[in-house]
A and B are shown apart, each in its own frame.
Chain A
Amino acid sequence: MDPPSDYDLAVHARRGDAEAFGELVRRYQTSVFNVCYRMMGNRQEAEDMSQEAFIRAYSRLATYDTERPFGPWIRRVAANFCLNRLASKAPINMPLMDEHETVHTPHERNLELATETAERARAIRHAMADLPPHYLAVIELRHFQELSYNEISYTMGISLSQVKSYLFRARKLLGEALKEHE
């Protein structure tokens, strides 16, 4: 028997079936966790935020269009949730859990290349952690969720010109931070 589709699970979850929603969580938890990790910069906080994002998404299932894929929707919910959390608290430099970058490249034959890749990832994460919340959000939505300017504008509730402005400034700050790191 084929596993239930995301559509079926979402429909059941909407009717209050927590177990059906649990299956959706199992399917998308890694990608949602990575959204939270990129935005929060801290592994433990990212796990907590992922859980809360899913719980929040459950209560907002009525706003989910079941004709569209579930993954992009839940990732957008998570990004918005992280943005709200970041915007509501004073800037804190979170310690980054660097060891996971190296854990993620076990298949790299060239150890030197693996180290370089991990080092670059670490540098990007450090640079992203220093971005203002709204800049970080547009980077997340554009580069990692591949939304268009219009979609970012709609998702974040900001104007198109703000999207462009935030995106350009964020990239400039990232470029400068990475240059300093070199």
Chain B
Amino acid sequence: MNEPAHLTDDVLNEYLDEALSGELRATADNHLRACMTCTGRLAKLSELFSMLNGLPEVPLERDISPHVVDSLKSRTRAETASLSNPAVRLGVVLAVEVVGALALIGLVWPEALDWVSKAAGANAMGPFTALLDEAARISYSLSVGQPFEALLSSLRAPSIPWASASALVTLLGTAAVAWLVSNGILLRAQRPTSDRSNR
């Protein structure tokens, strides 16, 4: 009579891991009841399982939470440090001012254009007005048409007729200086606070 094949190591492992399906487990159970060899192998593997599962936990001798919290806070500070850095903030302020000034100039473009033309000499802005004309021509050839032409016309015609270029530049200059001064005061006022928080 042929001796039934022994259970493989894989099956024994899965048996102890309770990963065998119902039918396979029943087959393994039947085999184990009849086979001393496999029962012995299973007992040996089971001993290893017990040793692993019984490995005691070791105590942690110090509380690591303060260090973790400090690390997280300092990392958050570092991430926001670039924004609180005076040089970076000044750069951002200047960039915003330039963009704002350009936007305002755009609103009263013809006056500013005339003023710059007079200041810079005759035909100084010639290339730019030529560029506008060329853009209009291209827009028609591409059938973009009326809306774009309307936009270009608004750039040529004064949209704020009462504003003179000199008044506008004076206003912008005053606003820019006031903004810079107020930011400088703000930065100076915040410095001691940020120094304290870095300690």
B contacts with A: majority SS: helix
Set of chain B residues within 8 Å of A80, measured between Cβ atoms: none
Q: How many A-B residue pairs have CB under 8 A?
A: 101
Residue of A nearest to B71 (CB): A55
In the complex, chain B residues whose CB is within 8 Å of the CB of A1: none
Q: Is A66's beta carbon under 8 Å from chain B? A: no
Identify A168's interface contact among B10, B65, B75, B76, CB under 8 A.
B10
Complex partner residue of A54 from B13, B48, B64, B76, CB under 8 angstroms: B64
Interface residues contributed by chain A, number (CB under 8 Å)? 46
Task: Choose, from B51-59, B94-102, B163-171, the stretch at the interface.
Answer: B51-59
The verdict on A25 contacting B59 (CB below 8 Å), with A148-B19, A149-B17, A178-B48 known, is no
Query: B56, A117: Cβ atoms under 8 Å?
Result: yes
From B19, B53, B75, A149 is in contact (CB under 8 Å) with: B19
Question: Does B73 lie at the interface of the complex (its beta carbon under 8 Å from any beta carbon of A)?
Answer: yes
Cβ–Cβ contact B65 & A26, under 8 A? yes
Find out whether the CB atom of A30 lies under 8 angstroms from the CB atom of B60: yes
* B9–A168 CB distance below 8 A: yes
Contact status A18-B73, CB under 8 Å: yes
- Interface 1/0s, chain B 55-92, versus A by CB < 8 A? 11111101111111101110110000000000000000
CB atoms of A33 and B60 under 8 A apart: yes
Indicate if A38 sits at the interface (CB-CB under 8 A).
yes
Residue of B48, B63, B72 ringed by the most chain A CB atoms within 10 A: B72
State which of B44, B55, B75 has its C-beta within 8 Å of the C-beta of A38.
Answer: B55
A47 touches B19 (CB 8 A): no
CB distance from B77 to the nearest CB of A (A): 11
Taking a contact as CB atoms under 8 Å apart, the answer to whether A51 and B68 are in contact is yes
In the complex, B14 has a CB within 8 A of chain A? yes
For B71, the chain A residues whose CB sits under 8 A away are 51, 55
- Cβ–Cβ contact A51 & B57, under 8 A: no
Which residues of A sit under 8 angstroms from B13, Cβ to Cβ?
164, 167-168, 171
Q: What are the 7 A-B residue pairs with the smallest beta carbon separation, nearest first? A: A22-B69, A25-B65, A18-B72, A143-B52, A33-B60, A26-B65, A100-B58
